[in-house]
Chains A and B, each alone.
Chain A
Amino acid sequence: MIVARSSGYLWDIVATLVGRELRIRYKGSVLGILWAILSPLGTVVILHILFTKIVPLNIPNYAAFIYSGLLPWTWFQATVQTGAATLLDNRDLVRTPFFPRAMLPAVVTGSNFMLYLLALPVLLLLILMEGIVEIPALLLLPVIWLVQAMFTLACTILVSALGVVIRDVQHLLGVGMLLWFYLTPVFYDLDRIAPDKAQLFLLNPMAVLIQAHRAVTLYGRAPAWPALALWAVLSSLLLAGSLVVFRTLEDAFVEEV
């Protein structure tokens, strides 16, 4: 049975639970919400030392380069990873009568997007320091967010439902996401890979999205529209499909969480 809820109410649910998520995350820590900036910055420092001093990749503006890829990647990766357990972590909500359960993956996607937004000013600072700010291109960023949000949400809905029925999913994801990270040009430059091989990266939506992010933030140009449009369409199909899977498994996982 599907209970129709007004979209306004669904928005309230997501907004309230995203707020709760962010409050819980930083409650009691000394630096609080600053960690949203500090933890990606820490990763950048490590990768920067690794790939400029130890194994030099010779990519210009390397700090800004990694940061511009790492932020959207972290949004995706953290969402899917925590999304796999979100129904189990929120057992009491899942077992609440008429609670719109499909909103839980949206809450994970939303709260990780908030963390992304919080860390974004540092990227602006980094590209400002390198003197590469192109305002008109930056205005295209929301379009990329939309495509990435759709793709991330679709993946999260899928793994969250599967994660209850098959609990191995969480463990599998740990390895899977590591592999996906290396297959995505986060710390290396796709433009330096032989063109015939680079073509293959079009099959990886996260590669397409990271490239789009970089085009806009780092190089001040429009993203590669055809690839982005293709993945926008595929993502919306995937989203519809994952909702069908979620609905099918819903009755089963209510009894199993």
Chain B
Amino acid sequence: MNISVEQLSKRYWLKDPAPQTFQQALAQMVGVLRRGKPFWALRDVSFAIGEGESVGIIGRNGAGKSTLLRLICNLGRPTSGQARVTGRVAALLELGVGFHPHLSGRENLYVSAVVAGLRRAEVAARYADIVRFAEIETFIDQPLRTYSSGMKMRLAFAVAMHVDPKILIVDEALAVGDAQFQQKCVDRIAEFRSAGVTLLLVSHDMQMVRRFCTRALWLQGGELVADGPAEEVTAAYERVVCPLEAKRTDVEVVHDAVELLESEAKA
């Protein structure tokens, strides 16, 4: 088992707005213990992902996808339940971690590759590959502040693509560089897949999910609505959510989704 999530819940406290008047300030002081309003980003989510599986996580904005990834990646404490991961993880949540504008591309490459989990000797061995992948051979010794944002992203991505993960976690970060570079990233992820790497992909792009994933998890309002074959879940999602008017509430969407999946199961 690579990733196991058991009855995971996460509650955030939404801070009350700063008091505008003396009266409000006094009212807030009297209720000293008020922490704001509770907001459940995740509610009782459970699933397990085995080695080599590729799973897409889909859902509308605010459905809890990023919170789920963060908890799986050991960033923050669950309110209840737990998330466990075994194996070397490469997570494309934030790109360019450890980058410093005044250091050269080469220096930044070394730092961020070690931070991403490689030993120094491993970085040295892969250095040429990473630079070639990022397509910045000519500028590698220039300070990072002279790079365009596209160059920085390519360098960051190239590093992430050379970490040799057991588990790859991608948070809708695949839109980097031109079409050709994107194709390279897609190919690389396909390579990882065939090498048996576990893939966890958050995306709003159903094509992408169908292409890379065999299984999909659908989150809605912090709850796991559906967990099944990627084809079915994404199709259901497209039917329920995409033509969705903003007026509909989470409850209605969940209701429709459950109905749809049940009728499909019967058919």
Do chains A and B interact in one complex? Answer: yes
- Annotate A228-257 by CB proximity to B: 1 below 8 A, 0 otherwise: 000000000000000000000001101100
Q: Beyond A96-B97, A251-B77, A254-B75, is A24–B114 a contact (Cβ under 8 Å)?
A: no
Decide if B119 is an interface residue (CB 8 Å cutoff). Answer: yes
**From residue 108 to 130 of chain B, which have CB atoms closer than 8 A to chain A?**
110-111, 114-117, 119-120
Q: Find residues 23-64 in chain B having any chain A CB closer than 8 Å to their own CB.
A: none
Interface status of A190 (Cβ within 8 A of chain B): no
The reply to whether A97 and B93 contact each other, CB–CB distance below 8 Å, is yes
Q: Chain A residues with Cβ under 8 A from B103's Cβ?
A: 20, 23-24, 27
Asked whether any CB of chain B lies closer than 8 Å to the CB of A167, the reply is no
CB pair B111–A16 under 8 Å, yes or no, is: yes
Whether, in the assembled complex, A98 has its beta carbon less than 8 Å from a beta carbon of chain B, the answer is yes
Closest to B77 in A: A251
Task: Determine how close the nearest CB of chain A comes to the CB of B239; give it in whole angstroms.
Answer: 34
A171 interface residue per 8 A CB criterion: no
Q: Flag B173-193 by CB within 8 Å of A: 1 or 0 each.
A: 000000000000000000000
**Cross-interface CB contact of B74 among A9, A15, A98, cutoff 8 Å:** A98
- Is B97's CB under 8 angstroms from A8's CB? no
- Asked if residues B107 and A23 are in contact (CB atoms below 8 Å), the reply is yes
Q: Which residues of A contact B89 (CB under 8 A)?
A: 97-98
- Check A20 against B111 for contact (C-beta < 8 Å): yes
A16 with B74: CB separation less than 8 A: no
Whether A93 is near chain B, meaning CB under 8 Å from some CB there, is yes
Proximity string of chain A (1-43) to chain B, C-beta cutoff 8 Å, 1 when within and 0 when not = 1010000110011011100100110011000000000000000
Assess whether A196 is interfacial by the CB under 8 Å rule: no
Please tell me if B91 contacts chain A, counting CB pairs below 8 Å. yes
Q: Contact at A24–B120, with CB atoms within 8 Å?
A: no
**B97–A28 touching, CB < 8 Å:** no
Residues of A near B83 (CB, < 8 A) are 1
**A24–B111 contact, CB under 8 A?**
no
Q: Tell me whether B111 and A97 are in contact (CB under 8 A).
A: no
Interface SS of chain B: loop
Task: Using CB atoms, name the residue of chain B closest to A2.
Answer: B74
Q: Report Cα–Cα, A8/B122, bound state, in Å.
A: 12
Which A residues are CB-close (under 8 A) to B102?
A: 24, 27-28
In the complex, chain A residues whose CB is within 8 Å of the CB of B120: 12, 15-16
- Kindly state whether residue A191 has any CB partner on chain B within 8 Å: no
CA distance A99 to B90 in the complex (A): 11
Residues of A within 8 A of B84 (CB): 1
Asked whether any CB of chain A lies closer than 8 Å to the CB of B225, the reply is no
Indicate whether B16 reaches chain A with its CB closer than 8 angstroms. no
Q: Shortest distance in angstroms between B15's beta carbon and chain A's nearest beta carbon?
A: 13
Interface residues on A, range: 20 to 34
Decide if B98 touches A97 in the complex (CB within 8 Å): no
A residues near B98, Cβ cutoff 8 Å: 17, 20, 92-93, 96
Quick one: given A93-B98, A97-B89, A255-B76, are A9 and B119 in contact (CB under 8 Å)?
A: yes
Contact of A97 among B75, B107, B110, B119 (CB under 8 A): B75
Is B136 part of the binding interface, using a Cβ–Cβ cutoff of 8 Å? no
B100 touches A1 (CB 8 A): no
Please state if B76 and A99 are interface contacts (CB–CB under 8 Å): no
Contact B76 A92 (CB under 8 A): no
Q: Is B264 an interface residue (CB 8 A)?
A: no
A97 to B96, CA, bound (A): 13
Complexed CA–CA distance, A30 and B213 (Å):
54
Task: Check if A3 sits within 8 Å of B74, measured CB to CB.
Answer: yes
Q: Are B94 and A95 in contact (CB under 8 A)?
A: yes
Known contacts A97-B89, A255-B76; is A20 also within 8 Å of B94 by CB? no
Write the nearest CB–CB distance from B155 to chain A, whole angstroms. 15
Given contacts A17-B98, A24-B102, A92-B94, 10 further A-B contacts (CB under 8 A): A24-B103, A95-B97, A96-B97, A96-B98, A97-B74, A97-B75, A97-B169, A98-B89, A254-B76, A255-B77
A-B contact list, 7 entries, CB within 8 Å = A9-B119, A16-B115, A92-B94, A93-B97, A95-B75, A97-B91, A255-B75
Give residues in A with beta carbon < 8 Å to B. 1, 3, 8-9, 12-13, 15-17, 20, 23-24, 27-28, 92-93, 95-99, 251-252, 254-255
Residues of B within 8 A of A (CB): 73-77, 82-84, 89, 91, 93-94, 96-98, 100, 102-103, 107, 110-111, 114-117, 119-120, 169
